[in-house]
Amino acid sequence: MSHLKEFWRQAARELAGDRSLCLATIVRQSGSAPRPLGTVFAVDRRGGIIGSIGGGRLEAEVMAMAARVLDRGRTAFMDFSLTGREAAEMEMICGGTVQVFLEPLAADDPAALELVQGLAGEEESAPGLLWTRLDPDAKGAVAGRKGLWRPGQGMGDVLPDAAWEPVLNLALDQGAAGIFQVDGQPEVLFLQPLGGQPVVYLCGGGHISLYLAPLVKLVGFGLVVVDDRPEFCNPERFPQADRLLVRPAEQTLEGLELGPQAYVVIVTRGHLNDKEVLAQALSRPLAYLGMIGSLRKRALIYQALLEEGFSQADLERVHAPIGLDIGADTPAEIAISIAAELIAVRAGLSKAGGFLAQQHPLWERKTCPAG
């Protein structure tokens, strides 16, 4: 289960239990910040929280404002500067600015519960957007202020379909949260894509996969393990797996709908099997494709694939040798290096070949941890 889905499930339980929430969302950001755009955080009247917006004093101030938002029943903006004196006072080192939008989700508002339950029950593969009208000091129910949109659906009486449909489709294609506006229209919307949970396909159930499986689940990926040996692909060996497939190498990816949320990790028990799985994966529009092995092994497999008709551009998509270069040696260390690369790719920081796209210090990246 993804962290975001679990967030909405917890929020749905709170609302269903007659506990109102203040929802806080990072809607604007410049420079570095504790969490990315679209990060959500919820606070109830008792100070209970769901999720995190970055920790430290920033989170404490959002919690204090959340109580006022719930009392007033109105939306609010909060602006934070994470630079200079303000950053030092807030115990933050990030060096950017953040704007947080706070909005009440009242337990007695049927539209709020329906929306949150819809987000909690979203199909993993269903594309769509969560839209939020950024109206300061707006009062009233969620209806007309926040909702779900899917391709081909209209916005009803909320927004003019003809004007907004191209913008909504653009936001969906970009796959990143952001603020959008249409020329001549007064509304300002914050749009958050509802992509499916990324899934790691571990092709091979050997020693490295044994260490890698719990790591990828720990950081929010789905997990499918595939091997041709039942003794290496079973619930006792991989209790974390969402799905286990025992099949020969030539059928490893057969029938699987692999798209831009799929991360294929090739760690089979031999070079021939690795080559077989890689050939199957190269034609898929994957988020990530990695193969274990030395540079010599990679060269041999690549040459064979070129002779079979694959292009150099196809092969440049592959992360091989797999994992970030952290000097890993043991199976556990290699698993950590692979998991780190998967996280980097998911965050948009890594490119094919196993190197970070941005070799900047932590404090110069788009996000950084709070104190």
pLDDT one-digit tens code per residue, 68-119: 999 999 999 999 886 655 545 544 445 578 899 999 999 999 999 999 998 8
pLDDT, mean over the chain? 84
At 321, the pLDDT band (50, 70, 90 cuts) reads confident
Q: What is the pLDDT of residue 258?
A: 86
Where are the chain's structural domains? 3-193, 199-356
Average pLDDT over residues 209-233: 93
Q: What's the sign of the alpha-carbon dihedral 203, 209, 213, 219? A: negative
Count CB-CB contacts under 10 A for residue 230. 11
Type of residue found at 102: L
Count CB-CB contacts under 10 A for residue 91. 13
User: How buried is 329 (Cβ within 10 angstroms: 0-12 exposed, 13-18 middle, 19+ buried)?
Assistant: exposed
Helix (H, G, I), strand (E, B) or coil at 357: coil
Q: What is the pLDDT of residue 156?
A: 62
Query: What is the architecture of the domain spanning 199-356?
Result: 3-Layer(aba) Sandwich (3.40)
Instruction: Tell me the pTM.
Output: 0.62
At 369, the pLDDT band (50, 70, 90 cuts) reads very low
Q: What is the pLDDT of residue 208?
A: 95
Q: What is the pLDDT of residue 362?
A: 36
How would you classify the pairing of strands 188-193 and 222-227? unpaired
Q: What is the pLDDT of residue 239?
A: 95
Q: What residues have CB less than 8 Å from 82, skipping those under 6 apart?
A: 31, 32, 33, 34, 58, 90, 92, 93, 94, 95, 96, 97, 98
Per-residue model confidence as pLDDT tens digits over 250-294: 999 998 878 778 999 999 988 889 999 999 999 898 989 999 988
Count CB-CB contacts under 10 A for residue 60. 12
Q: What angle do CA 129, 364, 83 make, to 5 degrees?
A: 90
Distances (CA, A) of 162 to 159, 165, 193: 9, 6, 20
**Cβ contact 77:99 at 8 Å:** yes
Q: What is the pLDDT of residue 370?
A: 41
Per-residue model confidence as pLDDT tens digits over 152-191: 776 666 676 678 888 888 887 776 788 998 887 788 999 9
The CA radius of gyration of the chain, in Å to the nearest whole number, is: 23
**Cβ contact 67:45 at 8 Å:** yes
**Cβ contact 202:226 at 8 Å:** yes
Per-residue model confidence as pLDDT tens digits over 11-66: 999 999 999 999 999 998 876 556 678 889 999 998 899 988 777 778 899 999 99
Distances (CA, A) of 63 to 1, 46, 234, 276, 297: 26, 10, 45, 53, 54
**Measured in whole angstroms, how far is the alpha carbon of residue 108 from the centre of its chain?**
31
Q: What is the pLDDT of residue 181?
A: 87
The crossing angle, in degrees rounded to 10, of helices 271-281 and 295-307 is 50
At 151, the pLDDT band (50, 70, 90 cuts) reads confident
Per-residue model confidence as pLDDT tens digits over 335-365: 999 999 998 888 777 666 555 544 433 333 3
